[in-house]
Each structure stands twice: as C-alpha cells, then as structure tokens.
Amino acid sequence: MSQSSKTYCAIGVMSGTSLDGIDIVCCNFIANNGLWNFEVLAAEEIPYDLEWKAKLSEAFYKTDTEIQKLHFEYGEFLGDKIKAFIKNHYLRPELIASHGHTIFHLPEKGYTLQIGDGAAIASATETLTINNFRAEDVSKGGQGAPLVPVGDKLLFSQYDICLNIGGIANISYDFEGSRLAFDVCPANQPLNFLAEKKGLNFDFDGDNARSGKLHPELLNQLNQLGYYRQEFPKSLGREWVESEFMSFINNSDLDYDSLLRTVTEHIAIQIASAANHLDSTKMLITGGGAKNKFLIERITHLCKHDIVLPSPKIIDFKEAIVFAFLGVLKFRGEINCFASVTGANEDSSSGDLFFPKQKGNS
C-alpha cells in the first residue's frame, strides 16, 4: 500500500436477504501510511415496494431467461436510485460498489448469483461501477462469503469481534494471526417472516418475542441442525434456510409470538456459541438485529463479551460502507477477500468493473 495519503470517494449499495430495501452510502476512505479511515458523507435506506419485494423473493423460482431479464431490470432500478442519491446529496463519487441481490448461493456446487447489472448502473450514473464480488472466490473453491471481514479488520480494528445481524447473522474476528469469519445462523430472515404473519413489517424492539413462550422442544430441534456442527469456513444461503430451518417453523402449531420467542433464543444461543470460546473482549454489533432490544438482551445474557452498539448510522449502513470499501480495494488492485475467511485456495481482489457507456451484462 502506498505510504502517501490518498482519499477515495465511493458509494456502496447493499440489498440483504431480509428484503427490507436498499442501503446506499457515500464515504470518503482515507489511506494514510498503511492505515485506513473513513467518513460518511451521506446515507439513505430505500424500502422496496411490494412489487420489488415480490420480484426479488420469487426470482429463486424463475427460469434462467426470466432471471437474466430481472438482472437487467434490477440494474436499471438501482442505477436510477443511485443517480437520484448522487444528485440529492451533491456527491461526486469516483466509483460505485454494488453488492446486488443474492438469488442463489451454492458455493459447494461452485455457484453464486447476485443480480443487478453493473453496466446498467454505470450507464445511469455515468460512474465506474464494480459488482459481482463473490464469484471469483467461489471459483477458487471458497464460500464467497462473508466478505465484510476485510472491512472489519481494516476499518473497525478497535473491536476484536464484529457481529452483524441481518437476514443472516455473521461473525468476524482475528484468531492465531488470521481473520476468521462465518455465517452463524438465520436471524432477521425468519424473524421478519414470522412478524409478517402477524401483519407487521418486523417485530419492533422484539416486543412480540418477549411476550411469547419459549418452546424447549423446537429450540432443541433448531440447535441440533447439522450446520452448527460444521467446521468453518461455512456460509448460509436461502436454499438451506428454507429447506432445513424454516421447515421446523412452518410445521409448528405454536402461536407466532412463541415462535418469535423461540427463534430469538436460538439466535442468541448460536451467537454465544460462536463467540464464547474467545477471550472476553469487545463485540461490535451492527445490522437491523442490533435494534431488536429483546434479542440484544438475550445475547448480552448468554455471551461473555462486552456488547458495543455504535451510532445508528453505523448500525444501519456498516455493510454498505464495507462494500464501498471493497470497491476501493478492487480499484487499487488490492486484496478484498480473505481466503482464511472463505476457504478459497488464495486471497482475491474480486469484482467486475463496468465503465460508463459500457454495454453488456456481467
């Protein structure tokens, strides 16, 4: 890395498995003598309307041709939203890094797909766009996930453990000289599913879970799922969540509050299990689950670490911030995906670059 100070203005765009919406953030990233800092210039969450929620949720079941069409349409949609974001905040980004929306994630079969055509985004915004961050790692035998640990190590090094609770909870920490990370368990994905069954967008503060009754038999069934006994590197996709995890939820005759209570306890137990073998230290928690007061109470109770909840902006936009940073690292030709995390045969500088007016799909 250059020893001179250099600043990059980059936009990060994230769409998670919980289908809440798009997180867009613009940051300055400052490289100075091998160390990185950042400042957030602007950030927005753009909720999906019902039409886009349905399109993205149902894409899993569509044909290849239909998915390719949606890939381009979603890229145009993202491009329009990012263009408006740039205009509204008077920004001049050097690059856009877009995670896209995951449709398939089957790394054991050498396949992962995040839609959102980079060429369409570059065309709409007239800005260099980088996307498809996972595929190269998967081609090298890796999980293609999690990718955020690079940002954890270089941007949030004051915390020994970084936990993100999104649709899926994932954890990241240094161990014996290497960065390790893995998907812990389903989190907001099943919690939001159950809340929606009650006519809610989500379980505010975990209040419905708090009022439910813990069901030991279901809790034990969830805790016995084979994924939790697998060695890392490992990651979770919608395929596993629906076939293995949600089958217990869908076949249960418990009321929704009791299901929420039991799933919340399960999440807290799995997070504690993933972290309690480490020496007591500080754990940074971000993602939508950090706002779930009851879930945080249960994690605090079961976990031996000091829980740190950062500012709302970091809670909400950390993943988008890190994807902007991954774009900067790719732009610089530097490593943005750790083989120690994913299990690939080597580190990667991953992502596809699309320049303005470039034609074609990623």
What is the SS3 assignment for 73-112?
Answer: HHHHHHHHHHHHHHHHCCCCCCEEEECCEEEEEEHHHCEE
φ, ψ for residue 102, nearest 5 deg: -75, 125
List of residues 6+ apart from 160 with CB closer than 8 A? 173, 174, 278, 281, 282, 283
Nearest CA-CA partner of 60 in 5, 21, 103: 103
Confidence of residue 235 (pLDDT cuts 50, 70, 90): confident
pTM of the model: 0.88
56's tokens: 């993205």
Contact 80, 124 (CB under 8 A): yes
Task: Return the CATH architecture of domain 6-144+317-354.
Answer: 2-Layer Sandwich (3.30)
Taking only the tens place, the pLDDT of each residue in 107-144 is 889 889 999 999 999 999 999 999 999 999 999 999 99
Whole-number average pLDDT of the chain: 94
Same fold, 6-144+317-354 and 149-314: yes
Where in the chain are the domains? 6-144+317-354, 149-314
CA dist 54 and 101 (Å) reads: 13
Q: What is the rounded average pLDDT of the residues 292-312?
A: 98
242-279 per-position pLDDT tens digit: 999 999 999 999 999 999 999 999 999 999 999 999 99
For the chain, helix, strand, coil in percent to 5 are 45, 25, 30
* Residue 1 binned pLDDT confidence (cut-offs 50, 70, 90): very low
List, for residues 161-174, the tens digit of each pLDDT value. Answer: 999 998 899 999 99
CA-to-CA distance for 194 and 54, rounded, in angstroms?
17
Query: What residue ranges in 219-318 does DSSP mark as E strands?
Result: 282-286, 306-308
CATH H-level, domain 149-314: superfamily: ATPase, nucleotide binding domain (3.30.420.40)
Lowest mean pLDDT among 28-42, 125-139, 212-226, 233-247: 233-247
